[in-house]
């Protein structure tokens, strides 16, 4: 790993609190996953690291205003939108994106007024078969008393207590061997007390599952084994439906309440191996309609460009939802090449995380990928390639960083949050949690967070 001696890093975060999806995405009943926050704490302890919370880059301060004060800017702002299905009924009341629902139960300020209608009926349909879909299914089906001990918000607990949802159908457009979820998440759903799994169609598997690659074989074993409890003993159930592409989401004409989700039945394309991970499918003439009082779209997140990208030469690929980059995290623009080693590289600009790779990857892979981006910055620095403000071979940045723009940001009415401030919020959340016998009770609004700091 290359290092830049004496480098200083300012990290901007739009919320007062750090950790992104580790705080607002990772499911509350997976606290062990959040241990990666300890690594973050170690980095934040460096005197050359500066956390600047509650400052939204591109909105509270323009990128062009930031540029003169830095040698490099790395974009690592994740994916703030979700993929749409593009089908009729997608925007009906009762249709939620998994991103909204996950943000809501995890206390993300933006979604605290969501009010998901969990009391509208008994059937929920989730479209998409990734791990986020299984997170949503698990939260809907887990007894509230189990969740009570986690850091899920009190508001979410209250709404989940009144939930009437009894059956959760997780629907994918391809087969079980192409599903995106992983074995641990499927197994967890098989172990929720009082929840049964509807057996899956065995014909979707090869006669001898032992011959499948290890990852698929383990998932197959879990799914074919199913749950021990019989439907008679269970009050709730879940199922996986395969080879169904979403066609429309339907509501009753009178009340406007959601009634069903209609899918086009799919078949494996001629010539494709239905048991390969990358098998492709084609639509048939047939459809299936599943009753639904609630529907979730869980087909992936999506990154968007920041305002002011064009001011500093950052390209954006709206289709892939990424900043174009070489595989190392250098931002590339075709107009900048060809030529030297870093041909196409927009000097001084780098990216990491989901905005670099697209919205897939677990924390471990995202971290490895971010280390690679950091390494390439250090390598470029050693190689003396142009950086943000290089002119005639001289690095001309003011080197002021945050100090160069602080006054303007504060002048815009923004109250920046320091790492020490965050530690105070952390303590306050833990105290609120203690009273409720849970690890923390998160602040639900930015206003509450700032009021706590300025009290
Ligand atoms: C619902 C869900 C559950 C998951 N659960 C797991 C799990 O259990 N285990 C696992 O290994 N992985 C899990 N993942 C994957 C993991 O969360 C991601 O791999 C990782 O968080 C991506 O990191 P990132 O830095 O790209 O994005 P994020 O974690 O989203 O971080 C981006 C940060 O940028 C901030 N930001 C955005 N715009 C701006 C702006 N304009 N200015 C300043 N700041 C801004 C955001 O507020 C956010 O804090 C889960 C993902 C999701 C969606
Ligand atoms: N516990 C954990 O470790 C955990 C928890 C949550 C999230 N994560 C990670 O976070 C990342 C994001 O997860 P994710 O679930 O949002 O995304 P994902 O893993 O990419 O899954 C998206 C799912 O949506 C389907 N899909 C996409 N477009 C569709 C469409 N138009 N119609 C129907 N289905 C469609 C995909 O099917 P196709 O395959 O056919 O495209 C896939 O089943 C993943 O890497 C995941 O592993 C991890």
When computed from its CA atoms, the radius of gyration of the chain, rounded to whole angstroms, is: 24
Would you state the structure tokens that stand for residue 109, as one six-digit string? Answer: 């300020």
* Domain end (from 266, 301, 336): 301
> Whole-prediction pTM value?
0.96
Taking the CA atoms of residue 355, residue 156, residue 16 and residue 371 in that order, the dihedral angle to the nearest 10 degrees is -30
The rounded distance, in Å, linking the Cα atoms of 315 and 293 is 42
Residue 444 lies in a domain: no
Phi, psi of 117 (to 5 degrees): -80, 70
Residues placed in the known binding site for FAD: 13, 21, 57, 354, 361-363
Do 68 and 86 sit in the same domain of this protein?
no
Residue with tokens 């830049």: 4
Residue 391 alpha carbon to ligand 1 centre in Å: 35
Rounded CA-CA distance 36/26 in Å is: 11
Best probe residue, ligand 2, of 33, 134, 180, 215 (max atoms within 8 Å of C-beta): 180
For residue 1, being part of any structural domain is answered with no
193 and 266, same domain (yes or no): yes
Q: Are residues 357 and 219 in the same domain?
A: no
Strands 167-171, 123-127: parallel, antiparallel or unpaired by DSSP? parallel
Distance 172 CA to ligand 2 centre (A): 10
Same domain membership, residue 56 and residue 155:
no
How far, rounded to the nearest angstrom, does the alpha carbon of residue 1 sit from its chain's CA centroid? Answer: 28
CATH, residue 376? 3.40.50.720
Same structural domain, 145 and 194: yes
> Which ligand 2 atom is at minimum distance from the Cα of 360?
45
Q: Tell whether 320 and 428 lie within a shared domain.
A: yes
Largest CA distance in the chain: 78
> Nearest CA to 14 among 416, 444, 440, 441?
416
Pocket lined around ligand 2, Cβ cut-off 6 Å = 83, 85, 127-133, 135, 172-174, 178-180, 185, 245-246, 298-301, 359-362
Output the CA 130–ligand 2 centroid distance in Å: 3
Within this chain, do residues 253 and 226 fall inside the same structural domain, yes or no? yes
Task: Choose the final residue of a domain: 301, 329, 355.
Answer: 301
Binding site per annotation, positions for NADP(+): 129-132, 173-174, 185, 361
CATH (domain of 109): 3.50.50.60
Is residue 449 situated within a structural domain?
A: no
Q: Same domain, yes or no, for 132 and 39?
A: no
Do 65 and 32 belong to one domain? yes
When divided into structural domains, the chain yields a total of 2
Residue in the block written with tokens 């799914």: 223
Does residue 2 lie within any of the structural domains?
no
Are residues 426 and 372 part of one domain? yes
Q: Per residue of the chain (455 residues), what is the pLDDT tens digit? A: 788 889 999 999 999 999 999 999 999 999 999 999 998 999 999 999 999 999 999 999 999 999 999 999 999 999 999 999 999 999 999 999 999 999 999 999 999 999 999 999 999 999 999 999 999 999 999 999 999 999 999 999 999 999 999 999 999 999 999 999 999 999 999 999 999 999 999 999 999 999 999 999 999 999 999 998 776 777 899 999 999 999 999 999 888 889 999 999 999 999 999 999 999 999 999 999 999 999 999 999 999 999 999 999 999 999 999 999 998 999 998 665 544 445 688 999 999 999 999 999 999 999 999 999 999 999 999 998 899 999 888 889 999 999 999 999 999 999 999 999 999 999 999 999 999 999 999 999 999 999 999 98
d(CA 129, CA 320): 20
320 and 411 inside one domain: yes
| Domain limits for position 212 | 82-301
Ligand nearest to the CA of 82: 2
Joined tokens for residue 283: 């639509």
- The three-state secondary structure class of 49 is strand
Q: Answer yes or no: is 317 within a domain.
A: yes
- What pLDDT score does 341 carry? 47
Ligand 1 midpoint to CA 74 (Å): 15
Residues having CB closer than 6 A to ligand 1 are 12-15, 20-22, 25-26, 30, 33, 56-58, 76-78, 80, 102, 132, 135, 301, 306, 353-354, 361-363, 366
Cα→Cα distances 292→112, 120, 143, 170, 298, Å: 24, 10, 21, 12, 15
Report yes or no on 166 lying in a domain.
yes
Is residue 142 in some structural domain?
yes
Looking at 301, 324, 351, which one is the last position of a domain?
301
* Pair (337, 391) in one structural domain: yes
Residue 86 lies inside a defined structural domain of this protein: yes
Record the tokens describing residue 443, joined without a space. 């602040």
């Amino acid at each position: 790993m290359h290092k830049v001696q004496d480098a200083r890093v300012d990290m901007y975060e739009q919320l007062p609190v750090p950790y992104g999806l580790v705080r607002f995405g990772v499911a509350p009943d997976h606290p062990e996953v959040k241990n990666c926050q300890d690594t973050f704490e170690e980095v934040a302890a460096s005197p050359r690291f500066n956390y600047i919370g509650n400052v939204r880059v591109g909105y509270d301060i323009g990128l062009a205003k930031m540029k003169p004060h830095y040698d490099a800017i790395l974009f690592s702002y994740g994916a703030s939108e979700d993929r749409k299905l593009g089908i009729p009924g997608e925007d009906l009341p009762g249709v939620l994106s998994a991103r909204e629902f996950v943000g809501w139960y995890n206390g993300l300020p933006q979604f605290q007024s969501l009010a998901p209608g969990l009391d509208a009926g008994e059937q929920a349909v989730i479209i998409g078969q990734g791990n986020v879909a299984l997170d949503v299914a698990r939260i809907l089906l887990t007894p509230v008393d189990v969740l009570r001990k986690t850091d899920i918000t009190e508001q979410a607990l209250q709404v989940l207590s009144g939930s009437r949802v009894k059956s959760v159908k997780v629907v994918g457009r391809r087969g079980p061997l192409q599903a995106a979820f992983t074995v641990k998440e499927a197994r967890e759903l098989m172990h929720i007390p009082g929840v049964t799994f509807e057996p899956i169609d065995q014909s979707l598997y090869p006669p001898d599952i032992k011959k499948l690659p290890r990852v698929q074989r383990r998932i197959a074993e879990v799914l074919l084994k199913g749950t021990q409890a019989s439907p008679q003993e269970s009050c709730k159930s879940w199922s996986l439906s395969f080879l169904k592409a979403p066609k429309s989401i339907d509501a009753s004409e009178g009340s406007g309440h959601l009634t069903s989700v209609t899918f086009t039945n799919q078949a494996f394309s001629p010539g494709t191996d239905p048991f390969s991970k990358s098998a492709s499918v084609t639509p048939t003439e047939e459809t299936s309609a599943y009753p639904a009082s609630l529907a979730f779209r869980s087909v992936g997140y999506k990154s968007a460009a920041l305002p002011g990208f064009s001011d500093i030469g950052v390209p954006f690929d709206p289709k892939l939802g990424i900043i174009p980059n070489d595989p190392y995290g250098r931002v590339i623009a075709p107009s900048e090449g060809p030529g030297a080693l870093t041909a196409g590289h927009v000097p001084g600009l780098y990216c990491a995380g989901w905005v670099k790779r697209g919205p897939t990857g677990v924390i471990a892979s995202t971290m490895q990928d971010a280390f690679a981006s950091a390494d390439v910055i250090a390598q470029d620095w050693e190689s003396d390639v142009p950086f943000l403000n290089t002119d005639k071979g001289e690095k001309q940045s003011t080197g002021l960083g945050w100090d160069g723009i602080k006054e303007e940001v504060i002048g815009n009415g923004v109250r920046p949050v320091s790492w020490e401030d965050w530690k105070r919020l952390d303590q306050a959340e833990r105290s609120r949690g203690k009273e409720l016998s849970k690890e923390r009770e998160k602040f639900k609004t930015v206003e509450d967070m700032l009021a706590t700091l300025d009290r």
